[in-house]
Structure 1
Amino acid sequence: NLYNGRHAPGEHVRVFPLSNWTELDVWQYIAREHIALPEIYFAHEREVFSRHGMWLTAGGWGGPAEDETVQKRRVRYRTVGDMSCTGAVDSDADTTGKVIAEIAVSRRTERGATRADDKLSEAAMEDRKREGYF
């Protein structure tokens, strides 16, 4: 029901079958199908520092700054990406079931909770594209 059938001969059609799935839909599918995931998606004690309201991992990419303190916290990653722009969230969810329960009551989207670029400016991702990041 999402397919737009109006295209001219020779035009390419891109299909994104999961584009209307929520983060909760994805995790429920993972549980139902018993899909194994890397440990980074589950809560562990990790060394992180706070920047713009999210927990980032220290690294050669530019963090932490002099006024940012590294500390151990129990966090997990709701998405996995470049460490300079992907934040962790405080969490005790160390199983798929606990992740599902956590997401079900969360009022912050994955993007809102973990995308550092979105905290910097509305055009941060476009800036990265222009700089050759992608």
Structure 2
Amino acid sequence: YNGRHAPGEHVRVFPLSNWTELDVWQYIAREEIELPQIYYAHHREVFMRGGMWLTAGDWGGPRENESVEKRQVRYRTVGDMSCTGAVDSDADSIEKVIAEIAASRLTERGATRADDKLSEAAMEDRKREGYF
């Protein structure tokens, strides 16, 4: 925390910024927080693009050369369906999600964020375009 700010200036604080994905899931388990089912594995219709499983939709997928298949997947993050991918998974409970994440060598962002695969500035470009 940088305590040098002028009166009237806003201060942004991110208390969870050093938490890992595993930290978040362990907290969810400890506090017994109920989550929407989208965070757990289900059979869903998806197609492969750029090494990621995406869900079909009016946003522009799948393309002619991309075939839809039903797979058991879950979302490690939830966002815009045009840029958020699913991962193959059988983790249908908090305990299984924690075990899966603990064994994974891929970060949530690296595994499921199409923006991160497009360019280093893709998320900043989306911000400029009014996405956030």
Matches within 5 A, 1:1-134: 3-134=1-132
Unaligned runs of 5+ in 1: none
Structure 1 residue 7: Cα displacement: 1.7
Structure 1 residue 60: Cα displacement: 0.4
Aligned residues, how many? 132
When the two chains are superposed, the root-mean-square deviation of aligned CA atoms in Å is 1.1
TM-score (norm 1): 0.94
Report SS of the residue matched to 2:72. Answer: strand
CA distance in 2, matches of 1:129, 1:9: 28
Q: Percent identity?
A: 86
Report SS of the residue matched to 1:50. Answer: strand
Report SS of the residue matched to 2:115. Answer: helix
Structure 1 residue 132: Cα displacement: 2.7
CA distance in 1, matches of 2:73, 2:5: 46
Q: Deviations over 1:7-62 (max 9, x none)?
A: 22222111111111110000000000000000000000000000000100000000
Report SS of the residue matched to 1:29. Answer: helix
Query: 67-76 vs 121-130, which deviates more?
Result: 121-130
CA distance in 2, matches of 1:126, 1:15: 20
CA distance in 2, matches of 1:131, 1:116: 17
Change (3 A) 1:39 1:67: same
Query: 37-46 vs 5-14, which deviates more?
Result: 5-14
CA distance in 1, matches of 2:127, 2:5: 28
TM-score (norm 2): 0.95
